[in-house]
Structure 1
Amino acid sequence: MSLPESVSRRAEQLRAEIEQHNYRYHVLDQPSITDSEYDRLFQALQALEAEYPELVSEDSPTQRIGNKPDSGFSEVTHEQPMLSLSNAFSAEDMDAFVRRVYERLELPPEAELAFACEPKLDGLAVSLMYEQGRLVRAATRGDGYTGEDITLNVRTLHSVPLRLLGEGWPARLEVRGEIYMPRAGFERLNEQARAANEKTFVNPRNAAAGSLRQLDPAVTARRPLEFCCYSTGVVEGGSLPDTHTERLRQLNAWGLKINAEMRRVQGLAGCRDYYTDLAARRDALSYDIDGIVFKVDRLDQQQALGYVARAPRWAIAHKFPAQEEITRLKAVEFQVGRTGAITPVARLEPVFVGGVTVSNATLHNMDEIARLGVRAGDQVIVRRAGDVIPQIVQVIEERRTGEENRVSIPEHCPVCGADVERTQLIKRGKGREQVSEGAIYRCVGRLSCRAQLTQALIHFVSRKAMDIDGLGEKSIEQLVARDMVRSPADLFRLQVEDFLSLDGFAQQSSENLFNAIAASRQVALARFVYALGIPEVGEGTARALAAQLGSLQRLREARPRLLTWLPDIGLEVAHEIHNFMQDAHNRQVIDDLLVQGIELQQNEQLAPELQGSISLDQLLLRMDIPGVAKTGAQALARHFDSLDAVLQADAAALAEVPKFSKKAREGLLACLQQPEWVEEARALEAQLLAFGMHWRCEAAAVPQTGAQPLTGQTWVLTGTLEQMTRDQAKARLLALGAKVSGSVSGKTHTLVAGPGAGSKLTKAEQLGVPVLDEDAFIAQLAQWESA
């Protein structure tokens, strides 16, 4: 028996009416019917679907609560990273942010610049994916790149439409926002828990997070959660307005809740006024906020500003002053970190601050202890900086009793007993070094110190380093405590039987871990460099070193001044890298790892943009000659045909150099009298030659034999590239014969899209232009450049 058309029509009418009332009640906060009337509509739809089961569809309002998942939450990889925001904690920080935006957009101070302002909800960031207007997936932010699938739980929120209202939405639309718990709902939830003699939640954010991670969606459905959208991610098969505020208003028209406090203001003055107004009304709001998010409103300006590391340059979170409480500092203990840094930690009498019970606080270093004048036993003011990290901000000296004890750095490491030394700060510039005492004390025990070894191994095996699955902190602590591992290389000597001796390991898990360690022997150079734990070298710097130098051997040999020609590497970081690589102990660790079969995935080739790229004047400029700036270095290079000629010049020869000042001559002559300076200059030139960066190596920059593989192709770059700059990517494409354009058209061969890609990506998809992400792009480059 076929389904009567009138029944289908009635079901669709009821669904549309119910969703419209959901929208007015949960999104607009403007209900147009009573609860009893709503219930009658809902019951009518339920009865109709019960009589005609074939009517039931996933996006029906009656189907919000689904069955429990078979297991835990599965992993979701975000198609576009969900990046975090930089923070401003003061008016000065906010002023500096706006000033940087104006400078990067090359706008005059008097120019108008619109900002979108929104309260920073204290909840959980999530991503909703709609396809053809229907909700198909919801995921947590996670680490920004990978989150958890919480679709079944998010479907239970009435402020999340199961299908979008209206029409005109893109074929695929990712909506990003915050799930939070209003204060009234939080208090009601805790009242119910107290009545049932159950554990209460500490604050609304914890309650929201715990509610979303329930394995039973029915539990989530009973929790008073709300969703509020704040941006979009993937947009395919359609377009959205070209300003942030208009995009959110469009999402609101499609049934998604936006914050009623959202405003569009002009310039720094508008941002200041908005901050002052909302800060004054913060306690009167129905939900918790910990600051305000300011975003450049125009999307084209956002794209021009781009991203840095894991945050956009076009947005900032201006945090409200942190909450403070008074408690007693019971003691100061010292912890040992991965690099041997001895860090003081305050042990406090537990105190409730900003919704969290705090018993520990950071003291940063001994200079901070001296600045605060803190003593064990003091009454102190504790603040949760940015509502996250507890820290001591002030000592209440008038409450001292005389029984407080001064805090001193231990002479010996509290873990291994080795000596503790204070670091030195060396400022280098213009041929001089200024040495001063640093704020950090270090244990000199290196990997013979179990604390350093444990932390170094935890970093070494972590997901973004060697990515050895199954080797957690507890297992590493056991291996170190039992003296089974004394160096990262020892991990590769372990056998299945060794893991069986550890707590929590059975035969299968031991074999899995053994296989995971074996598989990690093949590792990308960037990951290996990051895994080594070189001070000041994070993921981005490790990727740059690998992409630019191409091999571990070059990195091990590179002189500090040579490293500064690599993007985003200053002299201090260059010295950290060089010192690490020249340290006998570290060299032995690397050699041991290679002996254990580490196979580095490296292209062995110097980046094309570095080949033959360093001129004589650039070399001279790197040598920090007092009085010699860019113009002086160019004058020397024009007059002398080689570095050797410069090094052999006397006062008379230098006097003949056109446009070379007396001050510059005196500075260079002083350097020429220093054997170590001359030796460094010659060594730097020799390394430039060996690496292929010397000006005489220019012919090697672009192979001239055979046709270039990308000749006749037009490529476009968009978004933020994380392993190289856009300029470097452009240079490599040009070296392969491609034309690099700034806009997408029907003639575009390929688009390379990094995080933050916007309208260019949308247009490329509409035109059917092939799109590569950065990893695929780099793989293709390596293939072409090695051909």
Structure 2
Amino acid sequence: MHLLAQALSLALALSLALALLSIPFPSPPYPLYPPRTSMSESPRDQILRLRAAIQRHEELYRKKHAPEISDFEFDKLVDALADLEREFPMFAGPDLGIGDDKSEGFQQADHKAPMLSLDNTYDEADFRAFGDRLYKALGGTGLEFIVEPKVDGVAVSLTFEKGQFVRAVTRGNGARGDDVTANVSLIREIPRSLKGAPDLLEVRGEIYMELAEFQRLNTEREAEGEPLYANPRNLAAGTVKLLDGEEARKRRLSIVCYGLGACEPATAFASLKEFKTKLKAWGFPIRDDIDVQQGVDAAWKAIQQLDVLRRDLPFPTDGAVVKVNRLEDQRRAGTTSKFPHWAVAFKFPPDQAETILRKISMQVGRTGAITPVAELDPVLLAGSTVARATLHNADEIARKDIREGDTVRIQKAGEIIPQVLGVVLEKRPAEARPFDFEARLKELGLDAARDGEEAAYKLRAPSREMKIRRLVHFASKQCLDIDGLGDAVAEQLVDLALVDVPVDALGITPAQWRMLEGFKDKSVDNMMAGLAQAKQRELWRAIHALGIPNVGMQTAKDLARHFKSLDALEAARSADLLQTKIGKKGGVTHEAVIPGVGVEVSESILSFFSDPNHRDWVRAMREAGLNLAEAAAVAAVAGVAGKTFVLTGTLPTLGRDEARDLIEKAGGKVSGSVSKKTDYVVAGEEAGSKLTKAQELGVPVLDEAGLRALLG
């Protein structure tokens, strides 16, 4: 009987794990990664496969900001692994922890108090079980709860020392995260100094992007024909980790603060409510939509209330967070290595709808990347009418077997752009045929191929739209700054076959300019003068104008400063960009030669210049007389050359970009954060933590007059 019971137990556990890996959650008809290899897989193989799947999805979510499955699906994988490892402890692996969001290119900093994640629950029974466990742990005393909207963003810890903001760090692995102070300092709502604060204070919060800002950025991308950002959470996470400070400034992030990390003295606050009230008085953004709740029943009603309120919130939210209010109760309840016992996240069911996918269209971006788009019968979803949804790439269409004419299930789960979860197979028309991506490209006259090992297809030769967008980018203020060469003019130049590649614009004659609608003598003279000025602009502008993927304005400046000429950059090899190191255990790591130019950017640069067409562009730029060399620093301001400056606050007459340009033209470098290597901090009004840190490190501080004097 004992052997029979053990065999039945084994069969049950295997069936459960197989089911969880092959049945969609909550109902999308596609398998989770990785696919089942055999019905007779051993428990050990099942466990290894589940662990690989979990680690892959952690990487996609935390580091690449491109999750492929929902939180619900991910939690089911984790539950399946836990069940199997409990049943077969001899095959259990090490604790997977809470994941790790640390990225290449950032310095790391320790959290004074661990920054844990939250356990998720999806139904009332599980939530009440959480309450029961707390009552038992705390001796049956009456419990108070704080109930807040769960902001779908990026967790961050803000450190204040002696009341001054000194550091912002991501969750990382819970003990140590990335120092993202430079980008987080751009969030205006964060106070720089606190009156009457404890000596040490870690304020925990969530960085997010408001829906209106997300829509603004996507409107710009749609106008440029670029693939749309998938959702605010991924874009916020990507912005926090941007190494290009100029690009980060173009995106407005927000923050909501809600939690207490380390605090010295530890007795400064008695409850979470008291702490949040103090945060509000200091000027931190908080959410106090719902007052303190007495007991589990009241907390459950508050969760339901938030489910209604969330429709009108300015940020994406996918649930409610419930936390014990009294800090002494939190300490008594304790934590695991991953989660506190005194808090839980209740995840709201995602908004879903069914509609018919009528057609799959193709959208071409500036770089030639092709994004498939689902054209849908309009359907109301989460308060808005949805008629289009991104399908990402050909592999995604094939993986979900999406066909034109299918009834599809679409979802918004903290998303603005809806995602196609999958097909309702029982409603599939008999005449529906598998979608042939390459046949559709040929039908549309798009000559495209896969971009190396990437999933995306790219045009082999640029389309009309692609030529126009490249030219507009080439002439933009962030590149060669050719005044008057905008969308309308670019369209005419391409349609008249005067421009095939952007550099062609530099060789257009006055007679050819007069062929354009609205171009009379004055307009032609102004354009010729603008083109002459463009040829003399800084090297970094020429590099940025090339449109190298992943190379923004700041990276272009860093490349210009390092290589000194476009010829040298074009001739660069991998070793000029990355140093390869082999560890004691044989592990290979890559170190950036130029700060901020990591593996991904380096691969983009090398790939770009390996294309003969792109090398032809550089030759044409050279023949057109464009400046392709870095100007030497002005001798009269030799004290600036090679020095590192940090700008903070608002200067009386100089804008931040103007000050940066003056410093860089004189041979200096502008950094986003203060360190022992900083030579000067230039401080204006409302200078915050950077000024404080400079004073602590003894870094010389200049005002605008001092900067101008140094520049001569």
In the superposition, the TM-score normalised over structure 1's length comes to 0.43
Larger Rg: 1
In the superposition, the TM-score normalised over structure 2's length comes to 0.47
- Which structure has more RCO (C-alpha within 8 Å, separation ≥ 6)? 2
